[in-house]
Structures are given as C-alpha cells and as structure tokens.
A and B are shown apart, each in its own frame.
Chain A
Amino acid sequence: MLYMKILESFLLDNNKIFFGFAYSLLSDDLQAQQVVIDAIYVLNLKRAELIEDLLTTPEKFKQVDILAQINKFILTQIFTIGQKRIIHLKNSIALDGGFLAFYNMATAKRALLFLKYKTQLAFSEIAEILGMNEFELMGLLSCAQKNLIENLGYDTKHLFTTGELITL
C-alpha cells in the first residue's frame, strides 16, 4: 500500500511535466491531458513488470531508478501517441496564439526543445525518448533552434556562418 502511494504521488507530481510535454505537441489542454492518461494506461499494459518491481522493491535507490524508467516510458508514450493524434486532429486544433513561432515547427523539433529546456533530462535520455541517436539529436537541436529564431523574426544568416572567415 505504501509503495502504491509512492507511485501515485510520482504520477501526480510529474503531471506538470507530462502535461506540459503533451501540450507542446498538441496545443490543446484537453487533448494533452488525455494523451497523458493514455500514456499511463499504456505503461500499465505494456510495462506492468516495472510497476510490480516498484511495488516490491524496498530499497530507495532501486525505487528511484525504476521511477526514472517509468518517467522515460511515459514521456516516450506521450511523444508516440501525441504524434499520431496530431495527424488526426491537425485541422481541428487551434494553435496557441502566444506561441505561434513554436507551433509552426515540426512535432519532433517541438518535443526536443521542450525536453531540452523545460526538463532536467540528460541528452541521452531525450534521444531515447525521441527514438534517435545523440548525433541525430544534436543536428535536430541546432535546426530546431534556428527554425524557432527565424520564426521569431530574427535574421540567422550570420549566426550559422559556414563560409571561410578571417581568423584573428
């Protein structure tokens, strides 16, 4: 019962991150919350052994490790489900007007920027969540930042100079 409480408070405390992540993909609060709930149900269906491990492990450090795995799994599911749902809801969702520059980017780029700047996840964990390797992710990050800066109306011509420059 005590371990069940640990899982419950983990899921409730992390809802801000889960919801924020889903919202960064879908731009609709009802849809975002539903995606989070769906992701938790998928966790129960596909990774029941993780929950079972958590409920039977008395060691604190193991619990922390299992919770980190659960966190990663839920975020992965949010990304997977969110990506599919956005295809169906594309025309029926009104984009959040305050963040148009952000929502005018591709889903993977939005997901990456949210996870990079709004969570404490390591680069390797983000790569795992988005299903890429770290090198691909680095390229995508650079591209996403450039896109966002451009969408915000800045000139990026000189930020990404690739030609030969004069050295000091």
Chain B
Amino acid sequence: MNIEKPGSSLKTVITKDKKNNNKLEGLGQTDLDPLSCDKVCLHSRKLFSLISCDDDTSAFEFMKRHFQECGYCQNQYYKLLALKTEIISSIPDALPDQTMQDSYAMEVSEMLAKIENRRNFSEKPKMFLDRFLSLFNN
C-alpha cells in the first residue's frame, strides 16, 4: 500500500498501486460475482458515481482514505477508471473539414456585418441629432 504524500493526487497513488497490482482483472473479463467473493465492501457501491466526480469532492476524500485499507474497492476503482476511459473514447469528437470551416467563417462574417450595419443605422440618426443640438448650444 502506498503511503500518501501531501499534495499527491489519488490518481497518482492509484497509478503507482496499479503497476504493482498483479491481481487486477483485465477489462472485458467476466467480473466475479460480488456475493461469491470472500470480501466485498459496501463502499464499492459508491464507486460508479465517484468516477464522475471531481477529485476534490468530500466523497472522494473519504474514498481516498478508504482505499488505503480496502483492496476490493481499489481494484473495483481501477476497473471503473478503465471503463471511464472506454466511455470517453466512445464519444465522437468530430471536427469540421476545411470546406465546412470556410463556409462557417463566411456565414459568421456575413452575420456580423449585418449586426454592424444595424448598429450603424441606429446610431446615425442619434449622431445627427447630437450635431444639430450642439449648434444651438454653441
């Protein structure tokens, strides 16, 4: 088990542990039935929601301490992290091609030109009025 250094994140600690952990089951292998395991931890139920949390949440702080004494949760957590990576890589991150970017840029500049014209149109009468009034003031 790693001794946590001040300021080190959980992910760093886990990465170190993961390298040393030979018992870790690979992603995609049949999961053991939790009820048939010798030691199943009640806290492992929280793990799935934990992978969606930020590292600094209080729940994470608790689990960080809990991992020091619970190998079962730690293993489950590794597996869930691997699944999270799989989830992220399954989400398309498409980029528009150059032609599409060019036509988009054209549309945007046309729209902004319209906005500018609209603004100029609404500002001109005001400018004339100001100039007209300034004649009387002088």
Flag B9-38 by CB within 8 Å of A: 1 or 0 each. 000000000000000000010111111000
Do A29 and B119 have beta carbons less than 8 Å apart? Answer: no
Query: Which residues from 140 to 168 on chain A have a C-beta closer than 8 Å to any C-beta of chain B?
Result: 141-142, 145, 148-149, 152-155, 157-163, 165-168
Q: Return the chain B residue nearest A17 by Cβ.
A: B93
Quick one: which of B31, B92, B107, B112 contacts A157, CB cutoff 8 A?
B31
B97 in contact (CB, < 8 A):
yes
A15–B80 touching, CB < 8 Å: no
A153 to B80, CA, bound (A): 15
The answer to whether A44 has its CB under 8 Å from any CB of chain B is: yes
Asked if B45 and A114 sit within 8 Å, CB to CB, the answer is no
Q: Which of B88-103 contact A (CB under 8 A)?
A: 88, 90-97, 100-101, 103
C-alpha spacing A41/B87, complex, angstroms: 33
Q: Taking CB as reference atom, which chain A residue is nearest B118?
A: A48
Q: Report how many residues on chain B are interfacial, defined by Cβ distance under 8 Å.
A: 45
B115 beta carbon closer than 8 Å to chain A: yes
Given contacts A15-B101, A20-B93, A102-B91, 15 further A-B contacts (CB under 8 A): A30-B100, A33-B96, A99-B92, A102-B90, A113-B87, A117-B91, A152-B90, A153-B28, A159-B80, A165-B41, A166-B35, A166-B39, A166-B40, A168-B41, A168-B70
What are 11 pairs between A and B in contact, CB < 8 Å? A1-B116, A8-B108, A19-B94, A27-B92, A41-B111, A55-B115, A118-B88, A138-B49, A155-B30, A158-B31, A159-B80
Q: Give Cα distance in the complex from A98 to B108, angstroms.
A: 31
In the bound complex, CA of A91 to CA of B116 (Å): 40
Within the complex, the shortest CB–CB distance from B38 to chain A, in Å, comes to 9
Q: What residues on B are CB-neighbors of A41 within 8 Å?
A: 111
Residues of B within 8 A of A159 (CB): 31, 48, 80, 83
Q: Are A40 and B80 in contact (CB under 8 A)?
A: no
Q: What CA separation (Å) do A155 and B28 show in the bound complex? A: 8
Residues of A within 8 A of B (CB): 1, 4, 7-8, 11-12, 15-16, 19-20, 23-24, 27, 29-30, 32-33, 36-37, 40-41, 44, 48, 51-52, 55, 96, 98-99, 101-102, 113-114, 116-118, 138, 141-142, 145, 148-149, 152-155, 157-163, 165-168
State the main secondary structure of chain A at its contact with B: helix
B91 touches A24 (CB 8 A): yes
Q: Which residues of A contact B28 (CB under 8 A)?
A: 153-154
B86: A residues at CB distance < 8 A: 149, 152
Judged by a CB distance under 8 angstroms, whether B68 is at the interface is: no
Query: How far is the CB of B100 from the nearest CB of chain A, in Å?
Result: 5
Give Cα distance in the complex from A39 to B70, angstroms. 50
Is B111 within 8 A of A16, CB to CB?
no
* Cβ-based interface call for B105 (8 A): yes
Q: Do B92 and A20 touch across chains, with their CB atoms under 8 A apart?
A: yes
